[in-house]
Copies of this chain bind each other. A is one copy, B any other.
Amino acid sequence: MRNVSVVGIAQIPVEKASTRSLRQLGAEVTIAAMADAGVEKVDALYASNMLSDELQGQKHIAALIADEAGLTEIEALQVRAATASGAAALRVGHLAVGSGEADLAVVVGVEIMSQGVASPALSKALDAEREVADGATLISTNAELMRLYFDRYQVPDDGLVNFSLNAHRNARHNPNALYRDRTISARAVKNSRIIHAPLRLLDSSPICDGAAALVLAPTEEARAYNPQPVHILASSVSTDRFRIEDRQDPLWLEAAHSSSQKAFRQANVNIDEVSFFEVHDAFSIMSCLLMEAVGFAEPGQGWRLAEDKKITLKGEIPISTMGGLKARGHPIGATALYQACEIVIQLTHRAGKIQVRNPSVGMMQSVGAAATTVITHIFSA
């Protein structure tokens, strides 16, 4: 397989409720990413979205976005893996360009969560018959993981607070973040509403609308499109037992471990060469468990990375550098494409006040349900 690079990016500012439609947001970032790459045509478009079936009554979104963007007679497919769908679409774009079947591909993610009630549709990431039927939701599942973690490792009540504070601090300087105007305090996190004990509102990422896109090209031709291409060193998907209940240890996210191990091998990179990590911080506990599964901390020690400020921009392993899911926002199907755009911005030194110092390798992870599916990408400039 030939190597693949990102030659164009586009994102719209994440909003609480967009006034525009799914097709408009999807087409806008598609066209903008193509303009960023200086191209007017592509061979393929891979689209990601999780909730449009329920919230917009719309399937067939890849062809819909392609049409709205003025693209026809192209390969247009939707790719899904629940809340990891954006990374799933990126993986297929990587396969299409890497295989030589496409010379230019757009990967676009879009989600409008503000129309209707997103939570029941989000829960369909879980097992309908054996989890949702028993009342489980993504929120209750993460709350349960948090409770187990706090109990097993005797973590203080405010042990995860710094994950949220770090994300919000970084989001202030990201013009595309939802919470660019909001600073929060440890006290605010600790006093925020309990949405599912012990999980509080400010342990959670917000419901929001957004869209982001990338253009991919073969690395050998990348500089013809962009003077600063960013290269995909690894793109790997892994799964665990579907339900947490069926796993040996609920606090060990095996899919995150195996996906990152595969990615390190593909990229020929060691974990200590990773300059920053765009973690899937849909919930603080998920950040904490992912840091452990990937290997940035020993089991039970992930929360100390936050506590000890090792996750800040100047820390050992900066995470959520442009606000993360927590504060940039988590418009589900678009989220991984935002992460990828942010990695491109960091690796090309365009992040301004939230620039990671001299980054050489950027890594991102995207999580489907409670880490049933985990998708890892590694990039370098």
A residues near B (Cβ < 8 Å) are 1, 21, 23, 44, 50, 53-54, 56-60, 62-64, 66-68, 71-82, 88, 91-92, 95-96, 98-101, 121, 124-129, 132, 236-243, 246, 254-255, 258, 368-369, 372-373
Contacts and interface: CB of A to CB of B under 8 A. Distances in A.
Contacts of A73: 238-240, 254-255, 258
Contacts of A369: 60, 63
A252 B121 CA distance: 37
A242 B69 CA distance: 11
B92 A57 contact: no
Nearest to A133: B57
A182 B80 CA distance: 38
Contacts of A81: 60, 62-63, 76-78
Choose among A71, A100, A126, A373 the residue with the greatest number of B CB atoms under 10 Å from its CB. Answer: A373
Contact of A101 (B1, B58, B88, B368): B1
Question: In the assembly, how many copies of this chain are there?
Answer: 2
B50 A100 contact: no
Nearest to A56: B128
Nearest to A96: B95
Contacts of A127: 58, 64
Nearest to A87: B77
A76 B21 contact: no
B74 A239 contact: yes
Contacts of A124: 53, 57-60
A44 to B, nearest CB: 8
Contacts of A82: 59-60, 63
Contact of A239 (B21, B72, B80, B121): B72
Contacts of A242: 60, 63-64, 67-68
Contacts of A246: 67
Nearest to A65: B242
Nearest to A78: B80
A99 B1 contact: yes
Contact of A99 (B99, B241, B254): B99
Nearest to A60: B82
A-B pairs with the 7 shortest C-beta distances?
A: A99-B99, A60-B82, A67-B242, A75-B237, A59-B124, A58-B128, A78-B80
A73 B99 CA distance: 23
Given A63-B373, A72-B239, 17 more contacts: A1-B100, A57-B124, A58-B124, A58-B127, A59-B80, A63-B239, A68-B242, A73-B254, A73-B255, A74-B238, A75-B237, A77-B91, A77-B237, A78-B81, A95-B95, A98-B99, A99-B100
A91 B239 CA distance: 21
Contacts of A75: 91, 236-239
Contacts of A368: 60, 63
